[in-house]
Amino acid sequence: MCILECRKKHITRVDILGFEFEMGLFPNVLDEAKSKGIDIAPKYIPADVFDKRAVEKNQVVFHDVSFIEVKPHIKGNTVAVELTDFSVFYSQDSIAHAEASLKDKQSKIVVEKGQIVKVNKDKNGIVSREVLTKHWTDWIDYWSVDFDFESKREIIRVAASPSFAVPQNTLDGFESPQMSLAEFEEVWTGDYIFENEWQSFRTKKDRSLELKSVFQEVMPGRRKIAVKVVDIFGNDTMTIIEVRV
């Protein structure tokens, strides 16, 4: 709907704001829009919009959707995927505001420009900062791979033209017409269902994370591989790459 509206009104760039986005929505929609000459920039709405002080001080920042970089490794008719980068742009509060509002011997966690920082103020009022996200992998809680993303179409049931089945006793006033099941039809949305074929995730006891998947045997030819990352805030990001095996 957004892409159709942009083409109708000759709009070449649009920002889409949301508290969260449907899992797997990107990057398919962005690629489709780009092929039609439209630049779509999805942005998350921060919790700061509910903070009157942050709004008054113009501290609300709408951060971009996270970005994933991956590298395929092909060996014969097998393929593995390596996660090489994950960038986030979250901002919640600001370091300057935390430093100004903290009392002595207090501390506060702040998320600013994709970094989680612990701001401390000691008994003498001296402020120190500790960056908690020292590496891009610190943002990742879970990631997974679908080695054949276009193998399963997303099918939904939609209403077709109304069709009614009239029971024999309707004319006698005992029963109203019943809508027929035939009025629903299965339609392909144009998207595909992500199927988790390999994953690596952190646990409370084991905080390590594998950054390269196992080699998966696949059919020779061109295919699309989808990689999904869930960050420590529970937000979902997906990217799709095309490879030839």
Most confident of 56-60, 62-66, 139-143: 139-143
Which residue carries 């120190």 as its tokens?
Answer: 128
Burial class (CB in 10 A: 0-12, 13-18, 19+), 227: buried
In whole angstroms, give the CA distance from residue 94 to residue 65: 19
pLDDT of residue 5: 82
Provide the token pair at 203.
């646990």
Give residue 209's pLDDT: 95
Do you find a cis peptide bond into 72, omega within 30 degrees of 0?
no
d(CA 216, CA 196): 13
Asked if 132 and 147 touch (Cβ cutoff 8 Å), the reply is no
Taking only the tens place, the pLDDT of each residue in 62-94 is 766 788 999 999 999 999 999 999 988 777 777
DSSP letter for 173, please: T
What pTM does this model have?
0.67
What is d(CA 198, CA 213) in angstroms, rounded to the nearest whole number?
Answer: 7
Single out the residue of 10, 69, 64 nearest to residue 42, CA to CA: 64
Question: 22 pLDDT band (50/70/90 cuts)?
Answer: low
| Of 122 and 18, more confident | 122
135 pLDDT tier (thresholds 50, 70, 90): very high
| Residue 214 pLDDT exceeds 60 | yes
Confidence at 129, pLDDT banded by 50, 70, 90? very high
